[in-house]
Amino acid sequence: DTLVLPKASSVLEIGPGEGDLLPALAERCTRLVALDNSPAMLDIARSKVRPELNVTFIEGDIHQGVLDGQYFDVAVANMVLHHTPDPAEIFNDLSKLLTPGGSLIITELCQHDQSWARKSCGDLWLGFDTEDLSYWAAKAGLWDGKSLHLTQRNGFQLQLRQFYKPINQQPI
């Protein structure tokens, strides 16, 4: 909510899951793309968005080049990184898609020791240290922005992080 976006902005959400964020994102921009590699999840997400909100749903993987030639003012990855084999690569891919001055918003679990989450939830990672996210962002040419850490009732801690592409850095 504190990220100020011009109305004529473009937003990408990777791994929108069931689409809970899409309606709120769609109200803040003129172009919203939801990218997921699961057709079933895209169908669920699509059902939560009113057609007049004009969300484009794309089935595919960010590494497949399905977004080549497109640039976004904001990219959102909400609870996605702990399901990916190489989170650092996600930072690289998303950095290339951001316009200069664009923001990458990451919501992710803080590092934890709840190994049951691997089997029950399909987690590949048991959360992340904040330093890891900052390191991967810096390697991808992104700078640290605002951050917020929240403790959940179930004992997990979440980190909400903003990284941004410097204005003097052109899209790759």
pTM: 0.89
For residue 55, CA distances in Å to 11, 42, 95 come to: 10, 11, 22
State pLDDT tens for residues 6-51: 778 999 999 999 999 999 999 889 999 999 999 999 999 999 888 8
Q: pLDDT at position 168, please?
A: 77
69-74 average pLDDT score = 94
The greatest distance separating any two alpha carbons of the chain, rounded to the nearest whole angstrom, comes to: 44
Which one has a higher pLDDT value, 139 or 121? 139
State pLDDT tens for residues 88-116: 999 999 999 999 999 999 999 887 777 76
Cβ-proximal residues to 45 (8 Å cutoff; 6+ apart), any chain: 16, 17, 18, 19, 22, 34, 36, 57
State pLDDT tens for residues 34-43: 999 999 999 9
